[in-house]
Amino acid sequence: MDSFSEPANTAQSPPLPSILDNIRALEEQHHAKGIPLSGRVIHVCHYLPVTCSLNVPSAPSTSIQSVPGLLSPPSTPPVDAKKDGEDAPPSPVDITDGAAQEQGTPANKSKWNLGVRYGHAAMISGIRSLSATHEQLLIGWTGDIYASPPSFSATSSPSNPEGSKLPSKDLAEEDKKALEEAIGNYEDTEHEVKGKGLKLVPVWLDDKLAHGHYDGYCKQTLWPLFHYLLWQDVATEYASADRHWPAYEQVNNIFAEKLKEVYRPGDLVWVHDYHLLLLPRMIRQLLPEAYVGLFVHTPFPSSEVFRCLPRRNEILDGMLGANLVCFQTYSYSRHFTSSCVRVCGYEIAAGAKGIDVQGHVTGVRHCPVGVDAERVGKDILRPGIQPKLEALRALYQGKKIIVGRDKLDVVKGVVQKLRAFEKLLHDYPEWIGNVVLIQVTSPALTDSPKLERQVSEIVSHINGEYGSLDFIPVHHYHQTIKKDEFYALLSVADLGVITPLRDGMNTTSMEFVIAQEKTKRSPLVLSEFMGISNNMGEAMLTNPWNLGEVAAAMHRGLLMSEEEKARRHASLFKQVTTHTSHTWAATLTQMLLERVGAAGMARQTPRLPLELMEQWYKKAGKRLFLFDYDGTLTPIVKTPSMAVPSEATLEALEKLTADPKNVVYIISGRDQAFLEQHLGHFPKLGMSAEHGGFMREPGETKWTNFTESLDMSWMNEVHEIFEFYTERTTGSHIEVKKSSITWHYRSSDPEWGAFQCRQCQDLLENNLVHKRPIEVLVGKKNLEVRPIAVNKGEIVKRILYLNPDAEFVFCAGDDKTDEDMFRALLFPTGGEKLSMEAPLSVTLALKDQSTKPPPVDLALDHEAIFTTAVGHSTKKTLASWHVTAPEEVVESMLNIVNDTKANL
């Protein structure tokens, strides 16, 4: 992924039927290839889209009193409290009323009452739309459970409901089972979709743990960070970024265990949002073959902000457990990629399609969420809207109406918007008395008295400075509003202003466009820092910190001609109604199916079978052990000289070489001096240095140079090219060996180093390789040039040729150069006996080059060859087996030698 440029978003989203056709085609292709698919999609979200309470006898509905805002402006049409909140971050409990409660179908009327939970409605409607073609499960927390349906005042925070909570630990098992049954049979009549259905699967969490996870780590650490704020910037007291980490980790683990309970092979799993960033890796550990996607609904900050997080590595590694990580915008995916490269030191995969973590490639894509345009289109036709719309027109007759509706959260930019409106009245005084701003701020979990007071003071200042007895410019209401009032406000507006400082997906802007289709087709002022701004090109995009720019955009929008309004609106309306929440959900399914079929995912390398290997080991009269060094016997380290063998590694080598039946070789890219320094004290250990350029046989001290008969004059030319790039890449250096030359950039800026590596590789391949008998190898943070006749595969062939009576072979490696070893051990199947010609590494060492050694028959059986790649099971490799880390290679060797010795 090229992080230096962002692609222009010019293409319209394909229509939904086209995406569904692609999904069917991909599923048919996978079935034809034998790739298992169950036809199910499992969504894992923080909480279920239902509220849970004990069913109490019906009583007359108690209306929720409207509570005035922070100010007391002239009365506008009455406003009741009901949360719509689709652009808000999800909260454990959302505001409902009697009408909302009736929308759900309680499955156990005698015990439990289930109601619709509002929040993230776009995501839920998208998920439900897939039920037309796929069986689906949605796993989530139950949320707080109440003794009676909770009610909320207009300004109460959802985290402090008036209803009494029932601690989950106090619920009897029979009550839990009854609730699980009710949730499993729940049907949402508001989003009824004919098809295979959506089953809800509850996750039970201890109340303290649940709120430590959500109110603690999610809202106090991750939410601010992802919106470019650090935790101490929003905390009211001493803030520790790690205080709630144990709860976050534990909740993610509980979700992983729940998924394991319901998982079937071939399921597609989508994990949603920042509450569950550790979950993909946990799923990968429990279910290695699962197809897992992660969609992050929030923004993702730049690497310089993200690296402030103390648990940055754990979060990134958790996310990279997925096969695919998807974001709202390209820029968020670019920030994520940069964080993986700069913070963790991972590399961008070949072809720039994702992040390579020890051979496991995690794809990185972007796909913005839309709204359920069909549902919003129906909602704006509700009979209660038109009377309220007419009342608003009458109340503000003769004045232009600017509408804003946001969470009262510091990242929503309400303070900056009010100051920009003041700037409008100051710079364009003709609007005094002729324009009003109706600003609705619904309560947020992160409400702070300081922010409320600041907003109140600014509103008072503007009204005092520019108002009069018959004109108040700002009407501010700090309360949640019902759908009728909400859509009436959007429909009556002459201008919509939504300017958050940071936001992932803000649905209010899309709903504004749909609501305006039947009325004025008014323009829209948006913040350029919103996740959807790139798709809303015909809106007036502004920097919310630039008050003059926002004020000028307001002025321009209020004076815009009818022709320009119609043109802009038509483009926005097409975008909003084409790329909906339904197309988003289908696109995610298509993306994950594409990853399922990608190279490296279709073939999962099985784990090394220790019992089978031990059986062949015990039967064999002669055994070959062929080990790479870096990344196979020792972990990869930033400073090459620090890669010293562990005590366990030395013990394993000592015991292996002590057995006369074993022939053991280290086949490394290291030079002779390094190998002799750390491993030279094992007299029976064979060693190959510089990727096969030099070799020391077991029991000998002399090294054989396979490059003596080769033309090595090319090294000076390569060295000159490497010097050119070393001068221009701070932190890089050149390593000159006797048979090869390597340019290292591990200590350089990772993105600049990788860019320079590609440039250098192109120069070598286009100008030198075709003239000289050399090849260019791209390694881990390095570029190596070596003779084409010298590689690890030739050394393996030589060892096998000289030991044809070997009946067991174990060969382990971790990177691209080790694939030459695995390739050398691939033999055609079907023949009774294995045989091989004399390899180049044998003929090069002969003094008489005119005599060619004869072919030899091998005593090996196909099943006795254990080629083993170190890394993830999805790593693209020629090896037959895999282990995940160098420690497992050493442990496996110790196990077979110790078990064999114990059985003697």
Q: Which residues are catalytic?
A: 628
Nearest CA-CA partner of 529 in 775, 332, 235, 759: 332
Read off the tokens for 760.
Answer: 């250098």
Phi, then psi, of 454 in degrees rounded to 5: -65, -45
Phi, then psi, of 275 in degrees rounded to 5: -70, -20
Can you tell me the distance from the alpha carbon of 241 to that of 310, in angstroms, rounded to the nearest whole number? Answer: 7
Can you tell me the distance from the alpha carbon of 624 to that of 622, in angstroms, rounded to the nearest whole number? Answer: 7
Phi, then psi, of 138 in degrees rounded to 5: -125, 110
* CA-based torsion, 51, 56, 57, 59: positive or negative: negative
Can you tell me the distance from the alpha carbon of 826 to that of 880, in angstroms, rounded to the nearest whole number? Answer: 10
Can you tell me the distance from the alpha carbon of 29 to that of 31, in angstroms, rounded to the nearest whole number? Answer: 5
Which value, to the nearest 10 degrees, does the dihedral of the CA atoms of residues 136, 137, 140, 145 take? 110
Read off the tokens for 240.
Answer: 């520790």
Instruction: Kindly tell me the number of DSSP H helices and DSSP E strands found in the chain.
Output: 30, 33
Cβ distance 71 to 463 under 8 Å? Answer: yes
∠ Cα 620 622 627 (to 5°): 105
Beta strands 741-744; 733-736: pairing state: antiparallel
> Long-range contact list for 664-667, CB < 8 A, 24+ apart?
664/625, 664/627, 664/698, 665/624, 665/625, 665/626, 665/627, 665/698, 665/795, 665/799, 666/627, 666/628, 666/629, 666/633, 667/626, 667/627, 667/628, 667/692, 667/792, 667/795, 667/796, 667/813, 667/821
Can you tell me the distance from the alpha carbon of 733 to that of 47, in angstroms, rounded to the nearest whole number? Answer: 51
Tell me the three state secondary structure of residue 887: helix
Q: Measured between alpha carbons, how far is residue 573 from residues 9, 272, 492, 565, 567 in Å?
A: 16, 27, 17, 12, 10
Q: Measured between alpha carbons, how far is residue 300 from residues 6, 164, 366, 615, 783 in Å?
A: 16, 36, 12, 51, 32
Per the rule left: phi > 0, alpha: psi between -120 and 50, beta: everything else, 671 is beta
DSSP one-letter code for 212? I
Tell me the three state secondary structure of residue 543: coil
In the chain, the N- to C-terminal Cα span, in Å, equals 56
Contacts of 574 (CB under 8 A, 6+ apart): 12
Can you tell me the distance from the alpha carbon of 733 to that of 740, in angstroms, rounded to the nearest whole number? Answer: 14
Phi, then psi, of 437 in degrees rounded to 5: -110, 120
Can you tell me the distance from the alpha carbon of 5 to that of 330, in angstroms, rounded to the nearest whole number? Answer: 10
E strands along 704-797, which residues? 704-705, 733-736, 741-744, 774-778, 782-787
Cβ distance 732 to 781 under 8 Å? Answer: no
Per-residue HEC secondary structure of 45-59 comes to EEECCEEEEECCCCC
Cβ distance 339 to 474 under 8 Å? Answer: no
Given the structure tokens 């324009």, which residue do they identify? 435
Can you tell me the distance from the alpha carbon of 79 to that of 356, in angstroms, rounded to the nearest whole number? Answer: 53
Cβ distance 581 to 129 under 8 Å? Answer: yes
